[in-house]
Amino acid sequence: MSLHHYLVSILDVENNKSEEVFVEKLNTAAAIGNLTSFRHYLIHLFSVAQRGTLSCSEKPVSAVTGIHPPLKVYAKLEDVREDSIILQWEPSQDSHEVYIQIKAISDIREVRKLFVKDATRFKVDNLIPGMTYDIGMATVMNGNLSELVTIQQTLSKNQILFTLNIHLLIWGYCKIVSDRPFW
């Protein structure tokens, strides 16, 4: 019997639903799409002979899918202030909580860690004016984190306004044209 193709069977353990993917015999890898974040799957690999006979590996591969990070993390220019920043993000599917990590570039030992539920924007206060920060954000599911999506942002510097009171004294002279005083 000669190999005709492969068949990959994916079983969603939670819903007890399966899906099959046909893979040509020359391929040694296949992408499996439409999987749910943080879900347990059992994956069986079958080799299919010319006449349709199946052979299967003894044990299925057990896999838990990763968690999708936030799709987009950003700060609008008008939301970047001297000592604060308003972060915005587009959450991934089934996301209700995000983890925010803030590190100043000059002192990576100090890390602020925040957890935010059911929001798509959050104001971070008490930052150092003019400092550049690495800001990372991850999706939280069942206490597990996705990979961090990181942006770098520099805050506005202190703006000090000086008001100067200027008194201008004008000294002049009068030219005497006649014998009579001008004033």
User: Does residue 164 belong to any structural domain of this protein?
Assistant: no
The confidence band for 41, taking pLDDT boundaries of 50, 70 and 90, is very high
The CATH code of the domain that includes 78 is 2.60.40.10
Q: Which pTM value belongs to this model?
A: 0.66
**Token digits of residue 34:** 């439409």
More confident of the two residues 115 and 170: 115
How many domains, the chain? 2
Region 48-56: what's the mean pLDDT?
78
- Are 85 and 37 part of one and the same domain? no
Which residues have CB under 8 Å from 177's CB, separation 6+?
Answer: none
Residue 33, class by beta-carbon neighbours within 10 Å (0-12 exposed, 13-18 middle, 19+ buried)?
Answer: exposed
CA 20 – CA 30 distance, rounded (Å): 12
User: Does residue 169 belong to any structural domain of this protein?
Assistant: no
The parent domain of residue 16 ranges over 3-64
Q: List the alpha helices (DSSP H) in 36-161.
A: none
In 85-165, beta strands by DSSP E: 85-90, 97-104, 107-117, 121-124, 132-141, 144-145, 149-154
Contact 146, 69 (CB under 8 A): yes
